[in-house]
Each structure stands twice: as C-alpha cells, then as structure tokens.
Structure 1
Amino acid sequence: MHVARSINALGGTGASDVFQLLRDGVPKSRTELAALTGMARSTVNDRLSALTELGLIGPAADGVSTGGRPPRRVALLPDARLALAVDLGASHVRLAVVNLLNAQLSAHEESLDIAAGPEPVLARVMELADELLAGLGRDRQDIMAVGIGLPGPVHFDSGRPSRPPIMPGWDGFDVPGWFHQHVRVPVLVDNDVNIMALGEHSRLSRPVEHFLFVKVATGIGAGIISGGRLQRGAQGIAGDIGHVRVRSGDGVFCHCGNEGCLEAVASGSRLAEQLRRAGHRDISGGRDVVRLVDAGDLDAIRAVRQAGRDLGEVLAASISFLNPEVIAVGGRMAGAGEHLLAGVREVVYQRAMPLATQRLDIHTAAQTRDAGLLGASLLALHHALSPAGIDALADASSA
C-alpha cells in the first residue's frame, strides 16, 4: 500500500523498527528480535520498553524452551488502540471501529445525504463514532487514526476535496482540520474508489501486484494498484475513467460539461433514465435497474449489456496502458453480474492485445459492501503503525 507520508525509520525514538516486526500479532522473543534487527539485546530491550510504555505491546505466553528457562516473548496488544474507518457515499455513511489487527469490533450504516454539506455530515459521523466507541466501553482517546473515503476527487496530501460534482459545499474543505478539532490523531482522506480498491485488493485469493478496481454506480471510476502500490497520480484523480469519451456517447452531454463521457451513458442513473423513457416509470436509480435485470426484463438486460460494452471500450485502452492481472468490477451496478461483465469482456477481448488478455481475470468484486470500510481502515492503520506513525506517537507521549 502507498505510504501516506514520506517516512524515516531512523528518526524519533527508534521504537518503530522493532514494532514493525510485531505488527503481525505473532509473539517473538527478545533473542528473535535481536537476530532479525541485528541490534544488541540491550538496544532491543530499550525499544521494547518504549513500546510497552505506549501500551502497544505486552508479554505473551512463554515460548518453547530449548533448555534452561523458557524464553520470554512479547506481542502486539491488538485492542490497545483503535482506528476509525468511514466510508461516505452520495446517500449513505458506513463506519467501523477496528483494532490494530484490523478486526472489526463495531460497525454502523445509515442513510446520509452528502449534499447536506461538510459540517452537518461530519458532525453526524463524529456522533456515530462516539456511539460505537461507547458501546465498546472506549472513547476518543483510544483512537489512533481515522481513515475516510469521499465520493469525489480528493487531494490526498491535504485531505481536501477538489470540485466534487455531487458534493456541494465540499470543495477545498479541510476535512482533516475539522476532525482535529475533535480528535488529535492522523486523519487520512481519499476518494471512495481508491479505498474500495485497497479493500478489494487486500482480500484477493492470491497476491496480485497489478490490479484495477472499477466502481460502476451513480458515477464511474477506477482504483489503480500497480507494482503493489495504489497510484493516485499528480493531483489525486488517477483512474477518473468516467469522463473518458466513448463512441456511443456522441451527442450525449455529461454533468461535467463535456460530450460523450462514459459516465453519461453507462452509469446507474443514466441507465435508469433510459429505462424510464422506455416506459418503466417506477425506476429511480441503479438499484432498480439491477432489480429489473434480476427479473429478466429484456430492456434492462440490453441496457446493462451495452453499458458493459461502453465500459469495455475504456478498459481496453486502460489495459494497454496498465496491463493489469485482475480487474474487479464493483459498485451498485455490479449487481447486474454477468450481464454487465459479458459486455465488458466482449469489447476487451476484441480490442485489447491478446498478450494482455491471455491471463486477465475480469470478475465481479467479492467485497461488494465492505470494500470501502476495509480500505479506509487499512489506510488509517497503515499510517498509524508505520515507522513514522509509531515514532510520532512516542515523541508525543514523551513531550
């Protein structure tokens, strides 16, 4: 995963270099840690003392002795600190509190209109977070980091949304700064497709270094993992495939002001609009389109299949640039399953080079609901438990 800030593992207290070997939760003896780090036992003991004072590690069950006294082992205390994961969509919010091993301890979901503006929305998020923490017998002091996904472009370095089309009032809003008024911890903000890509990638059945996650819902976007790292691009909008022009979009104008965008012809809202014009008056969005597809409605199936072809046209070009091993299609419209994927595969296999598609796996995302939460928690924990994060925590506790 991409490191949230540039780090220097040699800075600060130095406790972080030992901690990285304990992040997996597996107990280790001081002798093992000394061998793995190349440090003297006395230096390892100093590092462990610092981590113990932070409350991050503690004694584990005695190890197996090879003669004499059993070795004393130490391990990560998973519930010593917590992380808050937040997945905000156009009309919903999902929250979860996780421990240091990314085990979900408590979660909540409810409807929430992102267009209500940043302060009302974030105030509700904080209120829900307090409720989750209280249910666990914990409070804000136990939070080590916050990870947030937003449904629009985000400057990752600043955590500020950048002209998000469905988020009025959010442009340039200092999301981390708002949270820092309530909880003094690192706050990592990214767009929702990137965090979904992180979540889905973490649960693939095999290690994959080159991965493309595509979300097809009210909007269309992609999260790119190349060389094992999330690629955000210079301004944080890498993967904005929804505004690539497609042939079937001639004469169709997008909300961005351009003509022929993929999102203008293949998003869930546009498919719903097409079906309403065809006489399906009870269609309001992508969820209803999927319902019609499941019921075998031929108009809906044809519309979804064409949306898959349009998406496939853009993905064929993306494959030539990125050469992914796996493409996972998620978002609300992924519920249309093989009807959508059939259109994608039809064009991809026709247009992309055979070598690029020979072993290409295109499938529906497995983490259909929890990918965003999982990615947000990974984002938070990756930063909080990085060498820089541990050193910053140690420095703050000794200040």
Structure 2
Amino acid sequence: MTTVLMADDGPGRVLGLITAGTARTRTAIAQVTGLARSTVGQRLDTLFDAQLIRESPESLPSRGRPSRVLELNPRAGVIISVDVGEDRTRMAILDLNMAIIGDRVEKLKLGDGPEVLLDRITALVRELIVQQGLEQTAVAGFGLGLPAPVDYEAGRVMGWSVMSGWENYDIRRHLRRSWPVPVLIDNDVNLLTLAEHRRFWPSARHLFFVKAGTGVGSGMVIDGAVNRGAQGAAGDIGHAHVAGFGDPQCRCGNVGCLESLVGGWALARDLGEGHDARDIAERLRRGDSAAVAALRNAGRIMGESVAYATSLLNPDVIVLGGLLGSTGDDLMAGIRQVVYQRSLPLATRRLQIVPTRFKSRAGIAGAGHLVRDHVLAPATLDARLTVGKTPFGDQ
C-alpha cells in the first residue's frame, strides 16, 4: 500500500526549508519540523534520489562534527521563460536558482496570430536548448508572459488587447503539444510585479508596481502574493478613466483612459513624432525639451491614478518600471508630488516610491518564478514523488 505524504511532512516541505535557507542541515531540519532524524533521513534520501538536492562544500559548526550544508541542485531541471512584448520577444532557459543559462531576443509580430507565433517561439527555444547543450536535461515547466489581459486559470487572452486575434485561444493546449510540462501564462505586468517582489522586496507584504512604457499597466502584491482578482484583471490602472485632462481616444476603444494620456504611444501622438515609448526615450536621451516637459506632465497625471491606488491598497512600496519609468527622475517626480499631496498621511508616512532596480530581463525572471513556485510547491512535488515519477518531465 502506498503511503500518501501530506504537504506538511513530506519531502516537498523539506526542500522548501532548504531552498528558503530556513533549515540547511539535517539537524536544523529535524528541529524546525519536529520530525525524527530517521524520518528526516528518509525525506532527504527521496530528494537525493530525485537529484533535487546536493551537499554543498560549505559546512556549519555543530556540537560534534561540522554539519554539511544541503542545497537545491539548480540543474535538476530547467525552466523555459518567455516574455512576449509588443515588438520584441525575449526567450530564456533558466536553472532552478533563476540563473539565466542562455537567452535571446527576437522581433516577432503579434499580428501573425497565436499559431504562427507560438510555433516560432517553440522553434527558437529548441535552438537555444541545443546551443546550450541541454537536450538531455528535464524541462521543469514553461512560463509565458503576454502584453494582454490573461485569465490565469484558463491560460487565455481575454478582452481587448494589442494581441488582436488571440482572444480565447487555448495557448496552453497549443504549447503542450511540444512541451508536455506545466505551462503557466500570465499578464506581463503581473510577472514584472512578481519579479520585483521576489528579487528586491521579499519582506514587503503589500507592493504596487506600475509599468510605464508604450502602454501603461500595474500589478499588486497583497499579503505577500500577487493578486490577480477574480478573472485576472486586478490592478489595471492603464484603462481606468482619469477626469480633468480631456478625453482622448484610447487604443482600447474607450476615451480618457490613463494610457491615452501618458502611454508612450500617446506622448508620441501629442509630440507629433514617433510611435512608441522607444521613440520618446530616444528624444529624452537627446535632451529634447518638449519630451522632457511632456514626461513631467505625464508624471503628474499618472500620480492621480497612483494616489487613488495608494489610498485603496495602502502599499508598503510603489515601484515604477517600464521603459519610460527608467529614463530618469522626471516621471517619478510628478508621481511622488501628487501621491504625497493627495493621499492621507497614514498611507504615506512609511511609503516608499522607488524606480525598479531591474535593468532588463524582469519579465523573464517573473515567468521563471511563476514556474518554479508551481513545480516546487510541496503538494505538487510530493504527489509526483509518491507515485514514483521523476520530479520533472512528462505530465
């Protein structure tokens, strides 16, 4: 008879303690879990057999002989991470410690539709795997970020987006024809939010992330976890109406959306030159005074929406990212001014408003964390190991 392990006493929990750094020796694991040393030994044997852990060269002092430190084996499997943008797509192979083994950027057209684009991504990722000599390494999962509203549970684009022709297409089913592993799909801003929280603000219980690029989006961490709302639309300030600044036509079909006022494409429209955030960033780089003035004004307009979010969510930290959010202090200054002016002192007395520290690859990191969280979750891992499956591979 097969014994079914519970998530609170199985090898998955032990692995979680090791990867979090909570308990990295046999003695520490026994102390934290309350399990007998013989039981801890069994759990560790299971993890060693699955090649999920290894002994580190490091050792820690103890009452007797120094204790060997245990660590995750980062090459037990690899994660495919893909960040699809409006005009560029980045693909990467990550190890289980989120280190990039190899990556590439390609200009792919969203207008080619889901079948063509997803097949092209698959072909490019396979090339990357071969280039890195990883053909014999198990793929743990596939993470995909999209510049569109995503129903997270269904893994489908829902509603209006720049991804015309993708709505309700079964992306997960398509990818699993080539990748019979867990396929997790999310909105790109949610993945940026996840990456920011995990990398730089892990102790923040409440975080609000704003992406200012060609479009405008936002994501939120509530009680330490990304909150997607009921259908994955939570936190989207880009298409909320902002009163008092006119009602220009937005790409979504509505009027007066925040994005229609401060998105990169909207600033290019108002300046009469260029098409997107890259064009605006280039003008800023040249010191174009009209572009600088437009961005400062955009910061004050964006501050109205961010101030409302501050009162609603009361975050510990607000992080500004995206191409326009990373061009200097002009956008940030306007946001800070309005937030501190509009929000109650109780909401702002400990609030930090900061630029992202990511230089690039934040979307890749977010998609990687999404997959890693899923495949290394104690319940998921215990279920596979209990029935004798390898931790990764065909599902």
TM-score (norm 2): 0.89
| Structure 2 Cα separation of the partners of residues 31 and 206 of structure 1 | 26
Q: 1:158-307, aligned counterparts within 5 Å?
A: 158-204=154-200, 207-276=203-272, 280=273, 283-307=274-298
Please name the residue that 1:349 is paired with. 340
Q: Say which is worse superposed, 178-187 or 41-50, in terms of deviation.
A: 41-50
- What amino acid is the match of 1:120? V
Matched residue, 1:50: 46
Taking a change above 3 Å as real, the CA distance of residues 63 and 275 of structure 1, as seen in their structure-2 partners, is: closer
| Larger deviation, residues 59-68 vs 216-225 | 59-68
1:311 — aligned with what?
302
Contact preservation (8 Å) 2:92, 2:364? yes
3-state SS of 2:186 partner: strand
Distance 1:349 1:133, change over 3 A: same
Quote the offset at 1:350 in angstroms.
2.1
- 1:388 maps to what in 2? 379
Query: Does the 8 A contact of 1:252 with 1:265 survive in 2?
Result: yes
Residue 316 (structure 2) pairs with residue 325 (structure 1): yes
When residues 398 and 240 of structure 1 are mapped into structure 2, their CA distance, relative to the original with a 3 A threshold, is: closer
Q: CA deviation at 1:22?
A: 2.1
CA distance in 2, matches of 1:29, 1:358: 41
Structure 1 position 272, deviation (Å): 0.3
Distance 1:129 1:9, change over 3 A: farther
- The residue type equivalent to 2:16 in the other structure is Q
Structure 1 residue 27 displacement after superposition: 8.6
Aligned counterparts of 1:322 and 1:155: Cα–Cα separation in 2: 22
Partners of 1:274 and 1:106 in 2: how far apart? 39
Q: State the alpha-carbon separation in 2 of the partners of residues 54 and 206 from structure 1.
A: 29
Q: CA deviation at 1:151?
A: 0.4
Q: CA–CA distance in 2 between the matches of 1:297 and 1:58?
A: 55
Deviation (angstroms), 1:70: 6.3
Deviation at 1:248, TM superposition (A): 4.1
- Counterpart CA distance in 1 for 2:295 and 2:189 is 21
The Cα of 1:268 is off from its aligned counterpart by 0.3
Assess if the C-alpha contact under 8 Å between 1:140 and 1:183 holds in 2. Answer: no
Alpha carbons of structure 1 residues 25 and 124: separation in structure 2 relative to 1, 3 Å:
farther
Q: Structure 1 138/194 Cα, relative in aligned 2: closer, same or farther at 3 Å?
A: same
Question: What is the CA deviation profile of residues 143-162 of structure 1, one whole-angstrom value per residue up to 9, with x for unaligned ones?
Answer: 11122111011111121111
User: Deviations for 1:248-276, whole angstroms, at most 9, x for unmatched residues?
Assistant: 44332223222211111110001101111
2:101 to 101, 105, 129: 105
SS in 1 for 2:337: helix
Secondary structure of residue in 2 paired with 1:356: helix
How far the C-alpha of 1:322 sits from its partner, in A, is 0.7
CA shift, 1:205, in A, is: 6.3
Residues 1:62 and 1:213: Cα distance change in structure 2 (over 3 Å): closer
Q: How far off its partner does 1:201 sit?
A: 2.0
Q: Does 1:30 align with 2:30?
A: no
Conservation of the 8 A alpha-carbon contact between 2:85 and 2:147: yes
Moved beyond 3 Å, runs of 4+: 24-32, 58-75, 395-399
- 8 Å contact from structure 1 (residues 90, 166) kept in 2: yes
Larger displacement relative to structure 2 (163-172 or 32-41): 32-41
AA partner of residue 181 (structure 1):
R
1:164–1:170: 8 Å Cα contact kept in structure 2? no
- SS of 2:270 mapped into structure 1: helix
When structure 1 is superposed on structure 2, of 293-302 and 176-185 the one drifting more is 293-302
Rounded to whole Å, the distance in 2 between the matches of 1:337 and 1:60 is: 42
Q: Is the 8 A contact 2:76 2:137 kept in 1?
A: no
- Call closer, same or farther: CA 1:247–1:20 in 2, change over 3 Å: same
Instruction: Note the residue ranges of structure 1 that are not aligned, 5 or more in a row.
Output: 1-7
Give, in whole Å, the separation in 2 of the partners of 1:16 and 1:37.
Answer: 12
Say whether the 8 Å CA contact 1:59–1:74 is kept in structure 2.
yes
In structure 2, distance between residues paired with 1:9 and 1:292: 59
Distance change in 2, residues 1:122/1:164 (3 Å): farther
Cα distance, 1:362 vs structure 2: 1.9
d(CA) in 2 for partners of 1:9, 1:250: 60
2:355 is the counterpart of 1:359: no
Query: 56-65 or 30-39: which moved more?
Result: 56-65
Is the 1:249–1:264 contact (alpha carbons within 8 Å) kept by the matching residues of 2? no
In structure 2, the residue matched to 1:152 is 148
2:393 aligned residue: none
Q: How many residues align?
A: 387
Aligned to 1:362, the other structure's residue is in SS state: strand
Distance 2:71 2:211 in 1: 38
Could you tell me which amino acid in structure 2 is paired with residue 31 of structure 1? T
